[in-house]
Structure 1
Amino acid sequence: MHLNDAAPVPPANPSHGSYHWTFERLVAAGIVPLTVAPFAAGSLNPTTDAILCALLLIHSHLGFQVLVTDYIPKKRFPTARKGFSWGLNAVTALVGLGLYEFETNDVGVTELVSKLWHA
């Protein structure tokens, strides 16, 4: 296979096609009410805060995963692609751990936003 050959068409996979797209849209749509709800209700709930953090983490991971897939082609940069994929997974886990620590041992994301808003 040469550099200018046509890209091979992958086999159809419904679980990675429309279901994947639908999952991404549901996560993105779920972030909107969870961002507004704590302030509209006038109370900050740790469960709602944790769900918001989880959705933000998943949304960010999926977005960066698309960047790695689109801009680091496996065909030309197989080692770099694998390295960036593993790096993204490691950073996502580290951010998840940081959010968990911030939620359990500090004020949490929505309380921080509330304090910054009223400062």
Structure 2
Amino acid sequence: MASIARSALLKQATTASRMSSFATKPVVNNALRAAAFHTTSRRDLLPPLPQRVDGTINDPAPVPPTSPSHGSYHWTMDRLVAASLIPLTITPFAAGSLNPTLDAVLCATILIHSHTGFQNIIVDYIPKKRTPRARKIFTWGLNAATVVVGLALYEFETTDVGLTEAVKRVWTA
């Protein structure tokens, strides 16, 4: 019986010595080690978007209907509008003529280019499935801004000096 008690006392003594050695050593976990190398605190800049799961994991991915107005045709139109801005911007200043029709075409092309560029940003960065209300708000805001800028450019072209003449005056000022 003494041998049974002796082994139990030995186990208690070794456990107590181990616990006292843990108490004297500071506990350093991986998060503290990693934090020593960072200069800022770890926090997310933007809160995550709302998470929603539709269906189950075994549902097939939906295939959107094909449309010739999206994809390559859309990209080609964007590139054509962007490429047409180069001669439309240089021609009024190089030729020296102030043609109101050319000025109107330049304003319309700038307006279309800006609208499609911002529309691409909205489509790429505001997902319709996750944030449908925000997408609709931004789309309507873009449409309203395009109409306001279009009306302002029309008013500037018809009642004032026009875009190319204004740029010439600012350039030579």
User: What TM-score, normalized to structure 1?
Assistant: 0.91
1:53-64 alignment to 2 at 5 Å?
Answer: 53-64=107-118
Candidates 92, 97, 121, aligned match of 1:38: 92
How big is each residue's C-alpha offset from its partner over 1:21-61, in whole Å with a ceiling of 9 and x where there is no partner? 11111111111101000111011111000000000000000
User: Which has the bigger relative contact order, CA under 8 A and spacing at least 6?
Assistant: 1
Are 1:47 and 2:98 counterparts? no
Q: What 5-or-longer segments of structure 2 have no aligned partner?
A: 1-51
What CA RMSD, in Å, does the superposition of the two structures yield over aligned residues? 1.8
Are 1:2 and 2:56 counterparts? no
Question: d(CA) in 2 for partners of 1:82 and 1:7?
Answer: 24
Candidates 126, 130, 140, aligned match of 1:76: 130
SS at match of 2:165: helix
Deviation at 1:9, TM superposition (A): 4.3
Deviation at 1:17, TM superposition (A): 1.7
Would you say how many aligned residue pairs link Structure 1 and Structure 2?
Answer: 118
* Cα distance change of structure 1 residues 23 and 42 upon mapping to structure 2, 3 Å threshold: same
Q: What 5-or-longer segments of structure 1 have no aligned partner?
A: none
Q: Which structure: greater helix fraction?
A: 1
Question: d(CA) in 2 for partners of 1:9 and 1:92?
Answer: 32
Candidates 148, 156, 159, aligned match of 1:94: 148
* Cα distance change of structure 1 residues 7 and 72 upon mapping to structure 2, 3 Å threshold: farther
Deviation at 1:71, TM superposition (A): 1.0
Deviation at 1:8, TM superposition (A): 4.4
Percentage of matched positions with identical amino acids? 68
